[in-house]
Structure 1
Amino acid sequence: MRKYLVLFAVLLLAGILAACGDDGGGEDSESSGGEDSIKIVAAHNQTDPENPYQDGLLAFKEAAESESDGQIEVEVHAGTIGTEEAELVEKLKTGAADVVLVSPGFMTSTGIDQVDLFAFPYLFDSYDHWETVVNGEVGDEMAQIINEESNNDFKMLGYWTAGVRHYYGKEPVEEIGDLEGMTIRTQTSGVVSEFWEEVGTVPTSVAWGELYQALQQDVVDSAENAYPYFVQQDHHQTENGKYITETGHDYTTRFLLINGNEFDNYTEEQQEIIMSAAEKSVEAERESLYSQEEEYKEIAKEDGAEINEIDRQPFIDIAEPIQDKYAKELGVEDLLEKIREAK
């Protein structure tokens, strides 16, 4: 009798344990939401929490998690899994990140040279012009190029901006000749480099995280970027950064990308939610950037930076033949013409 009681107890305990281990996917799923839940790692390279990039990705997170009732979890990384965009591109390819934000310059390292079109100096003359282009036919064509050339490693979720870039250096620039011989932190190859060489400067490579020190210690005479980025990093408070000249040479484009192969594995409902969240992130990031441009310009003034405007036409005259040259090399002459016609 005792044998049968022991056997019964063992069988009963085994049944209880089996039931606990088969609870519909709790601990074995990506999150506590169930077997259809997914976790998305979304990353950008800026470490300042006030950055528009962060606002955009937090809007993506809020929309995706809300619209999916928690079935989609988004983990946002602000520079914590890579402060260099090349790192983020690689992480997207290998699956270490699911959504990343990158610039055209770093996308060319993947072999998709056509994206360099969006790095052309003086390609756009206003935010209205920029939005017309990226929200329209040219934006759609570039998204298709990126997807096809990457064999679906990269799928476009939306176009963000990093602001309009201006020159800042150790001396005021009243005319183009004042730039002669100045070292400038910028890209050191390609269309951007050639433009800065043509205006008389010496392009110099300095990592973004090291630029404050480089300006302070006279490693470079100058740099170029948009107000929310260089003012947040206090570049305008260095001796080689306090004279700002509004060259307006680049209304920047940034690509919000997801791994296309992974995206294709999601359910149709999850894909729709992700695309909807991406639209909300685009709106949030642009709105944040536009408001911060004026905000950080005023902060720069209050901190003692000197700001001046300049006749941009001599710069544009140098930029346009460079645009023509590189558009032909990249095979995007038709896209360049469409952008010019959209002004």
Structure 2
Amino acid sequence: MKKTIALFVVGMMSLVLAACGGNGEEANGQSGDGGKIKIVAAHNQTSPENPYQIGMEEFKKAAESSDANIEVEVHAGTLGTSESELVEKLKLGGADVVLVSPGFMSKTGIKEIDLFALPYVFDSYDHWEKVVDGEIGNQMADIINKKSNNDFKLLGYWTAGVRHYYGKKPLNSLEDIEGLKYRTQTSGAVANYWEETGAVPTSVAWGELYQALQQGVVDAAENAYPYFVQQNHHKTENGKYITETGHDYTTRFLLINGKKFDSYTEEQKQAVMDAAKAAVKKEREALYTQEEEYKQKAIDEGAEVNQIDRQPFIDLAKPIQDKTAEEVGVTDMLEKIREMK
């Protein structure tokens, strides 16, 4: 009888140890002892051809091919198509790695990142890469980590392309945009800029924009070729005229939950950083290639593309850049960015 009771106690203890992660792998995917970790990576785009998805798949491939015992689960829009949802999930542990834009990150209280979203702060991809891959990019990464109390750790800078105007009529001068209901940010420096042009910033969810253009809820929108062409916005009456304003060489932040990252072994940390580096390279390559591909696709399918003198737009942006930089305390960084052009 005593032997039976002893065996029962040992068995129960084994079950308890297993439930508590006694096998070296914690239930929440964290591990500090080399056990297998699962990383949930998410972005808000649903197209399998999107550069976001291509970059995330490269992150998965590189992380899982390491010797660090890592599994990556990629979600393309399935954890939410709203970036604010993804930021919240990252903070609360519903996702481990997410991709978000400056506009949504600034809502977390990290106002300095608005610098990277200001119209015409960058004038080419070469300029953008020099900034984000250099001293200023490192400085911004430190700001994100410290101001979020380590909720967010930057793994790398991705791009969502160079954004252009598209609408129900082409722009031949700055005056042509006046009065247009324009789908863009409706608060902050970006909204202030478009209000200065005379446009009326209007809020429409990305997933509802095709219908909004088709039904005349908005007169125009702005985005990069791979994004709006993949969604067929150029096939609507209010999206067929594309004017290459080139107002935003976009920055996207690849973030990991910093506290969870700190729980990994040194080998796992290095594997994640190496995978992020590979993903940055792959995502940028995909985007740069798709810029031309989808521009041509838009033209082939009936869209009309025209160039415009950007200088009046650039001149209008400068005082807004200065004011925003002063308000968020990054005037020195803005000056350095300008010097790198």
Range into which the TM-score falls when normalised by the shorter chain: over 0.9
In the other structure, the counterpart of 1:130 is 128
Match of 2:105 among 99, 107, 110: 107
Match of 1:160 among 155, 158, 161: 158
Counterpart check, 1:178 vs 2:176: yes
Match of 1:117 among 115, 118, 121: 115
CA apart distance, 1:68? 2.7
CA apart distance, 1:215? 0.3
Counterpart check, 1:54 vs 2:53: yes
Moved over 4 A (4+): 10-24, 26-31
Matches within 5 A, 1:1-343: 25=23, 36-68=35-67, 71-343=69-341
CA apart distance, 1:16? 11
Tell me how far apart the structure 2 counterparts of residues 98 and 194 of structure 1 sit (CA, whole Å).
33
User: In structure 1, what residue type is equivalent to 2:323?
Assistant: K
Q: Structure 1 residues 27, 144: CA separation in 2 closer, same or farther (over 3 Å shift)? A: closer
The answer to whether the 8 Å contact 1:183/1:202 transfers is yes
CA apart distance, 1:148? 0.6
- Equivalent position SS for 2:155: strand
- Equivalent position SS for 1:140: helix
User: In structure 1, what residue type is equivalent to 2:65?
Assistant: S
CA apart distance, 1:12? 11
The answer to whether the 8 Å contact 1:25/1:35 transfers is no
Q: Deviations over 1:33-65 (max 9, x none)?
A: 996111000000001111000011110101011
TM-score by length of 2: 0.93
Q: Deviations over 1:89-120 (max 9, x none)?
A: 00000000000000000001100000000110
5+ residue gaps, structure 2: none
CA apart distance, 1:14? 6.3
CA apart distance, 1:180? 1.2
Tell me how far apart the structure 2 counterparts of residues 14 and 96 of structure 1 sit (CA, whole Å).
37
Tell me how far apart the structure 1 counterparts of residues 7 and 334 of structure 2 sit (CA, whole Å).
72
Tell me how far apart the structure 1 counterparts of residues 176 and 99 of structure 2 sit (CA, whole Å).
35
TM-score by length of 1: 0.92
5+ residue gaps, structure 1: 1-5
The answer to whether the 8 Å contact 1:125/1:251 transfers is yes
Tell me how far apart the structure 2 counterparts of residues 287 and 100 of structure 1 sit (CA, whole Å).
19
CA apart distance, 1:199? 1.1
Share of identical aligned residues, percent? 68
Tell me how far apart the structure 2 counterparts of residues 11 and 262 of structure 1 sit (CA, whole Å).
40
Tell me how far apart the structure 1 counterparts of residues 136 and 150 of structure 2 sit (CA, whole Å).
19
The answer to whether the 8 Å contact 1:29/1:35 transfers is no
User: In structure 1, what residue type is equivalent to 2:205?
Assistant: A
**Corresponding pairs, count:** 335
The answer to whether the 8 Å contact 2:243/2:307 transfers is yes
Q: Deviations over 1:64-87 (max 9, x none)?
A: 110136x11100000000100000
CA apart distance, 1:25? 2.4
Tell me how far apart the structure 2 counterparts of residues 237 and 133 of structure 1 sit (CA, whole Å).
35
CA apart distance, 1:211? 0.4
- Equivalent position SS for 1:315: helix
Q: Structure 1 residues 119, 29: CA separation in 2 closer, same or farther (over 3 Å shift)? A: closer
CA apart distance, 1:339? 0.3
The answer to whether the 8 Å contact 2:24/2:35 transfers is no
Tell me how far apart the structure 2 counterparts of residues 189 and 13 of structure 1 sit (CA, whole Å).
66
The answer to whether the 8 Å contact 1:187/1:193 transfers is yes
Q: Structure 1 residues 28, 87: CA separation in 2 closer, same or farther (over 3 Å shift)? A: closer
- Equivalent position SS for 1:184: strand
Q: Deviations over 1:212-232 (max 9, x none)?
A: 000000000000000000000
Tell me how far apart the structure 2 counterparts of residues 296 and 130 of structure 1 sit (CA, whole Å).
21
Q: Deviations over 1:195-254 (max 9, x none)?
A: 111111110001111000000000000000000000000000000000000000000000
* TM-align CA RMSD: 2.2
